[in-house]
Structure 1
Amino acid sequence: MGVIKNLKVYGIDYGTSNCGIAILKQDVNIPLPKETIKSEKLLEFLVSLDLSHDDLIVFGLPISMSGRYSKQSFLSIDEAIRVKERIGCKIYFVDERLTTSSLYSEVRGEVSYKKVKRTKDQNSSVLILSNFIQSPENAIALVEKEVYNLKKDFSCYKDILIWDVPINNELENFSIFAKDPWIFWYYYKKGYESTTLISDLKDYYDLIITSKENREKIQLNINCKELMCL
């Protein structure tokens, strides 16, 4: 990911009502709580920070305990896309599962539950940013993908799997595996359900459509009659 020294780095716990914001204190490399703001004011607030294209914003990505994306995942990604389009800085996602429960565990017996709850958004953003600093290799960069319009007749296929690649074709009898946040967002916005779990998929498909980068992952996990790598 590269060096983040001398860059502005913020962590965001995005909610439907409020957003907790943390900032990385560069001299000691420690995330600190900054403030909590209304969600509708987030973009305005971030614009006021005068961020450069090299600065970083880390969003917590809501994921169910089973590992699936949800409507809240979509809303967080959608807001992150709005921020990136307006500001142009680098944006990453980190899995925010257990941030709240971890927070309560850390302060149990030291701070009252009500006080923790009042500052939950800020404290969760600190944990989100801390997770990013400690394990940046686990973060997922927000990157807009090329959307493919495939010139092929798919009517002869009974079961099609689209594996982590955005296509704009109208298909029947298909499933979608979307691990990449932008790709999940793309299909959710079009009204299509997807999964992040291989266990949700069938053992065999007539056709799997994916990218060249995912060829080996598919060959290890799913059987198919035909594999189309874009």
Structure 2
Amino acid sequence: MEKIIGLDLGSVTCGVAISETGIVARALTTIRFAPDDYDECFDKLLDLLEEHHVKTIVLGLPKHMNGDIGVRGQLSIEFGAELEKEGYHVHLWDERLTTVSAQRFLLEGDVSRKKRKKVIDQMAAVQILQSFLDRQNGGI
């Protein structure tokens, strides 16, 4: 099975999840970069994709609750287009409420505030990728 990476792109971090089976997503890492320096994020991500031999990416697409795409969503669309120019297959995936859901999951797990801050982006990426995998596999 082909490995798939899931991304939760923020303004200073990018949570990364991976699936090696096409069934289950797990947290991989958080890419940190200077505020709004998406070129730095892009370069770090390309290294990671090469290291893990990944060609398929599920990129979270932030939308407003009414479905409109704002500035953050447009940034994700442009980021995905740049990845496609590099030869990657990119799926944009509605990420509404994934960070809220990840936060709730970590709170229910009694994870400390300090630790939550370190892993919240990864957990959001896991939720983005897992929902994509579930849909691909006939679930949800």
Q: Under a length normalisation based on structure 2, what TM-score does the superposition of the two structures give?
A: 0.80
**Distance in 1 separating the partners of 2:97 and 2:75:** 19
Residue 70 of structure 1: aligned partner? 70
Question: 2:2, 2:20 within 8 Å by CA — same for their partners in 1?
Answer: no
1:102 aligns with 2:96: no
Question: 2:15, 2:124 within 8 Å by CA — same for their partners in 1?
Answer: yes
Gap runs ≥5 in structure 1: 1-5, 138-230
| Secondary structure of the structure 2 residue equivalent to 1:30 | coil
Deviation at 1:114, TM superposition (A): 4.0
1:156-188 superposed Cα distances (whole Å, 9 cap, x missing partner): xxxxxxxxxxxxxxxxxxxxxxxxxxxxxxxxx
Residue 92 of structure 1: aligned partner? 91
**Distance in 1 separating the partners of 2:62 and 2:121:** 13
Residue 149 of structure 1: aligned partner? none
Q: Which amino acid in the other structure matches residue 47 of structure 1?
A: L
Q: Which amino acid in the other structure matches residue 13 of structure 1?
A: D
1:116 aligns with 2:116: yes
Could you list the structure 1 runs, at least 4 aligned residues long, displaced by more than 6 angstroms after superposition.
Answer: none
Question: 1:25, 1:32 within 8 Å by CA — same for their partners in 2?
Answer: no
What RMSD over aligned residues (CA atoms) do the two structures have, in Å? 2.1
Residue 46 of structure 1: aligned partner? 45
| Secondary structure of the structure 1 residue equivalent to 2:46 | helix
**Distance in 2 separating the partners of 1:106 and 1:18:** 20
Aligned 1:19-168 pairs, distance under 5 A: 19-26=14-21, 29-37=23-31, 38=33, 39-48=38-47, 49-50=49-50, 51=53, 55-86=55-86, 88-109=87-108, 110-136=110-136
Q: Under a length normalisation based on structure 1, what TM-score does the superposition of the two structures give?
A: 0.51
Deviation at 1:108, TM superposition (A): 2.5
| Secondary structure of the structure 2 residue equivalent to 1:92 | strand
1:83-114 superposed Cα distances (whole Å, 9 cap, x missing partner): 1102x121101110110111122233422344
Question: 2:103, 2:120 within 8 Å by CA — same for their partners in 1?
Answer: no
Identity %: 32
Paired positions, count: 128
Residue 12 of structure 1: aligned partner? 7
| Secondary structure of the structure 2 residue equivalent to 1:119 | helix
Question: 1:104, 1:113 within 8 Å by CA — same for their partners in 2?
Answer: no
1:143-165 superposed Cα distances (whole Å, 9 cap, x missing partner): xxxxxxxxxxxxxxxxxxxxxxx
**Distance in 1 separating the partners of 2:16 and 2:135:** 19
- Which is higher, the Rg of structure 1 or of structure 2? 1
